[in-house]
Structure 1
Amino acid sequence: MMKTVTVLGGSGFVGSSVVARLDQAGYKVKVLTRRREQAKHLILLPKVQVVECDIHDHAALKTQLQGSDVVINLIGILHQTRDNGFEQMHHQFPRRVAQLCEELGISRLLHMSALQASASAPSEYLRSKAAGDQAVMEYSKKLNVTIFRPSVIFGTRDRFINLFAKLIQWIPVLVLAMPQAKFQPIWVEDVAAAMVNAVDEPATYGKIYELGGPAIMTLQQIMEAVMKTIHVQRPIIGLSLRMSLLQGSFMQLLPIKLISRDNVKSMQVDNVCQQPMANELCVVPTDMFAVISGYLVKNTPRGAYDHFRAAAGRVINARR
């Protein structure tokens, strides 16, 4: 019998890859989203059902979770708002999802956390993630729970590499907070593969997995890699911790959130794995350079020109 997997946050960056892989693996997938329009790219997948649902409405969420065999929670925020705070989204919501799984007899729950989540972490973001992990794990005697803690995730639709690539193209100097902060970037498809491979793998029950790519890089090294990929060089001015916090305090007031004071505090802890990728996840992490060149170059003026020239060449050749 085909299992039904309900994905919370399935229309987002990571969720889209997870949903596509679940569909390919033969699961029946239900994606809950507040606006169906945001998940239109998933509607055409043969085994995917997109349902409009306000996940903050307890009764509505309970109704939509009924009949599920598996629940995957990918809900998370990087910046707090007046309506959605870290405590609500990262701690109380995962607790509520686990509670509903128990009430409805849904035995399998996969939960997305963050690398270096800890009650003693310097940022509210990481502390709230740790609180959510603990809340979910409290149900591990009644549910088959697996928690994933990825480092920074990159991919075609990411808001990390793409954002910096755009900034580098338009500003003469890159003023970089916490340039020596360490990360272990992991491809979104590797994260999705790890989660989907774990759905029916009993060896993953009750465990917390760290997910990272094959290379550990400083933030400055990542920016230099982006510059090399898009063929644009900019001077980098690295800021001290004090100046980074000051930059975060200012930039969190802007309409478009690039970085906040809490983000800077998160970067005080090296975002790297303490253990290699577990064998039972059946994933060999992909090199970042092999991936970003495939999507960054197309988004640059030079890349767009090359793409147009190649397309024109194909048309001319076809006419011949």
Structure 2
Amino acid sequence: MTNRTSLRVMVTGATGLIGAAITDALIRRGHDVVPAVREPVRAARRWPGRRAVAVDFATDVHAADWIPRLVGCDAVVNAAGIFREHGGSTFHAVHEAAPKALFEACMASRVGRVVQISALGADARAESAFHLSKRAADQALLSMPLDACVVRPSLVFSPDGASTRSFLALASLPWMPLPGGGEQRVQPLHLDDLVEAVVALVEAQRVPRTLDAVGPAAMSLRGYLSTLRAQLELPPSRVVGLPIGWMQAGARLLQRGRRQGFATDALRMLARGNIGSAAAITDVLGHPPRDAAHFIAPGQAQPLLMQARLRWLLPVLRLSIAVVWLGSGLVSMGLYPIADSLAMLERVGLESVLARGALYTAAALDLALGLSMLRPPPRWLLKLQAAVIIGYTAILTVALPEFWLHPFAPLLKNLPILAGLWILHEFRERE
């Protein structure tokens, strides 16, 4: 690298969590950053006036795809990555084929510095498809005559990160259910330290070939969550150890779901441990990385605690409403005497075959709505449920007004259910 004050740096995956933070930091340092992203419009909204380059790691797997985009670039930071495969965005394409093509193009274009954001665990012991694909690209880069560094982050803490939000939610539970009691070893790193290290690597005259980006000390997963819990200003929590076999079975079940394709690999990587030496990153930063006990600033504690609790309280609310619908449907199907149900419908104005048809239709609708709530439903379905409840309530108010004064409050209970549906509707994007 040269001693130029300003460098032109292409950052791939610039709208992702890590890529965006690196882009922001490089811009603050006065560098000319070229975000290379799948959706340039999104990048333009975040960085107005900055030229973004459209790329697609699912298809840009030849050096010729990248060479025109690298004109004038002094450095490249590859922060593109996925945790779950979807469509053409496979681990092989996004982590291996496209990065190899990019690195070959960097070599052909004489790019002065390449920083590859990999992952801790992408080494000779790698087993998961995620780690194996990362390792393949890392090895390809290190075999080329490029001035390059492979950065391998451990768990990265950022309030905006999906994994961090999951850990904070776990830490906020009254009891923390952890695989094997949470004795797995982790070494979390704050995003700010990772970004500072990457910027230093871009600007440095010389860089190490690899860098384990880890926190200052290893700890158990249980200890990490307890540390987060203390920073959320919560008292100590009891840990509930879950058998690893149960967790693996549950992960395989979730693996079938579109949103949880990374579940089994995540468990495997967690069981292996996620630690390394902090000496190299301390040298790059010029100071030790932030201790996990200081990840959350005091002013952040309450907002983060609210977000963390919503992450599990919303599913609890959703599933409780599912139980109400399913219970109502099963009761109407015959758990409650059919004759008594038909007698009630007679008072509403329905008799004989019509009453029986209405009973079973309503029961089937209740069961369908209950099943729909086992997973986060779209907002229109939440509105439909509210409309059904309001309809039921209106009919019974006219035909059986005494139910408002019934000691078991069958109609009054509809009000908190409607409030629950409203809450789920407003917070739909959080689940």
TM-score (norm 2): 0.62
Going by fraction, where is helix more abundant, 1 or 2?
Answer: 2
The 8 Å contact of residues 155 and 292 in structure 1, kept in 2 or not, is answered as no
Secondary structure of the 1:5 match is: strand
1:190 & 1:149 partners in 2: Cα distance?
13
Deviation at 1:239, TM superposition (A): 2.7
Instruction: Please give the per-residue CA displacement for 1:184-223, whole angstroms capped at 9, x wherever unaligned.
Output: 1001110111111111323205x10111112322222222
Deviation at 1:168, TM superposition (A): 5.6
Q: 1:151 aligns with which of 139, 151, 154?
A: 154
The 8 Å contact of residues 112 and 147 in structure 1, kept in 2 or not, is answered as yes
1:120 & 1:229 partners in 2: Cα distance?
34
1:31 & 1:111 partners in 2: Cα distance?
15
Q: 1:18 aligns with which of 19, 22, 32?
A: 22
Could you say if the C-alpha distance between residues 52 and 8 of structure 1 is closer, same or farther in structure 2, counting changes exceeding 3 Å?
same
2:237 & 2:90 partners in 1: Cα distance?
35
Could you say if the C-alpha distance between residues 41 and 150 of structure 1 is closer, same or farther in structure 2, counting changes exceeding 3 Å?
farther
The 8 Å contact of residues 248 and 261 in structure 1, kept in 2 or not, is answered as yes
1:242 & 1:72 partners in 2: Cα distance?
39
2:253 & 2:39 partners in 1: Cα distance?
32
1:40 & 1:166 partners in 2: Cα distance?
32
Could you say if the C-alpha distance between residues 33 and 112 of structure 1 is closer, same or farther in structure 2, counting changes exceeding 3 Å?
same
Superposition pairs of residues 180-259 of structure 1, within 5 angstroms: 180-204=183-207, 207-230=209-232, 231=234, 235-257=238-260
Could you say if the C-alpha distance between residues 168 and 286 of structure 1 is closer, same or farther in structure 2, counting changes exceeding 3 Å?
closer
2:239 & 2:308 partners in 1: Cα distance?
23
Could you say if the C-alpha distance between residues 203 and 280 of structure 1 is closer, same or farther in structure 2, counting changes exceeding 3 Å?
farther
Q: 1:291 aligns with which of 284, 292, 295?
A: 295
The 10-residue stretch of structure 1 (232-241 or 128-137) with the greater mean CA deviation from structure 2: 232-241
Deviation at 1:16, TM superposition (A): 1.7
Secondary structure of the 1:100 match is: helix
Aligned partner letter, 1:180: E
Q: 2:265 aligns with which of 249, 262, 265?
A: 262
Instruction: Give the structure, 1 or 2, with the largest relative contact order (CA under 8 Å, sep 6 or more).
Output: 1
Aligned partner letter, 2:187: Q
- Alignment: residue pair count: 298
Secondary structure of the 1:246 match is: helix
The 8 Å contact of residues 122 and 268 in structure 1, kept in 2 or not, is answered as no
* Root-mean-square deviation (Å): 2.8
Could you say if the C-alpha distance between residues 240 and 276 of structure 1 is closer, same or farther in structure 2, counting changes exceeding 3 Å?
farther
The 8 Å contact of residues 176 and 237 in structure 2, kept in 1 or not, is answered as yes
Aligned partner letter, 2:248: L
The 8 Å contact of residues 76 and 89 in structure 1, kept in 2 or not, is answered as yes
Superposition pairs of residues 1-320 of structure 1, within 5 angstroms: 2-39=6-43, 42-44=46-48, 48-55=50-57, 56-57=59-60, 58=62, 61-139=66-144, 141=145, 143-166=146-169, 173-177=175-179, 179-204=182-207, 207-230=209-232, 231=234, 235-257=238-260, 260-274=263-277, 276-278=279-281, 279-294=283-298, 295-301=300-306
Could you say if the C-alpha distance between residues 23 and 233 of structure 1 is closer, same or farther in structure 2, counting changes exceeding 3 Å?
same
2:306 & 2:261 partners in 1: Cα distance?
23
Deviation at 1:37, TM superposition (A): 4.7
Could you say if the C-alpha distance between residues 167 and 255 of structure 1 is closer, same or farther in structure 2, counting changes exceeding 3 Å?
farther
The 10-residue stretch of structure 1 (244-253 or 51-60) with the greater mean CA deviation from structure 2: 51-60
Deviation at 1:4, TM superposition (A): 0.5
Deviation at 1:92, TM superposition (A): 1.8
2:37 & 2:263 partners in 1: Cα distance?
27
TM-score (norm 1): 0.82
Deviation at 1:79, TM superposition (A): 2.2
Going by fraction, where is strand more abundant, 1 or 2?
Answer: 1
The 8 Å contact of residues 36 and 54 in structure 2, kept in 1 or not, is answered as yes
Could you say if the C-alpha distance between residues 155 and 283 of structure 1 is closer, same or farther in structure 2, counting changes exceeding 3 Å?
farther
Aligned partner letter, 1:87: H
Aligned partner letter, 2:16: G
Aligned partner letter, 1:134: Q
* Structure 2 unaligned spans of 5+: 310-431
Instruction: Please give the per-residue CA displacement for 1:111-134, whole angstroms capped at 9, x wherever unaligned.
Output: 011112123323222222221110
1:41 & 1:285 partners in 2: Cα distance?
32
The 8 Å contact of residues 36 and 52 in structure 1, kept in 2 or not, is answered as yes
The 8 Å contact of residues 297 and 303 in structure 1, kept in 2 or not, is answered as no
Aligned partner letter, 1:125: F
Aligned partner letter, 2:69: Q
Structure 1 residue ranges (4+ consecutive) displaced by more than 6 angstroms after TM superposition: none
Deviation at 1:283, TM superposition (A): 4.3
Tell me the residue number matched to 1:315: none
1:303 & 1:261 partners in 2: Cα distance?
23
Instruction: Please give the per-residue CA displacement for 1:12-57, whole angstroms capped at 9, x wherever unaligned.
Output: 111122111111222100101212354356415x8x4334433433
Aligned partner letter, 2:7: K
Aligned partner letter, 1:182: R
Instruction: Please give the per-residue CA displacement for 1:95-153, whole angstroms capped at 9, x wherever unaligned.
Output: 111111112222321101111212332322222222111011111x2x11111011110
Secondary structure of the 1:256 match is: helix
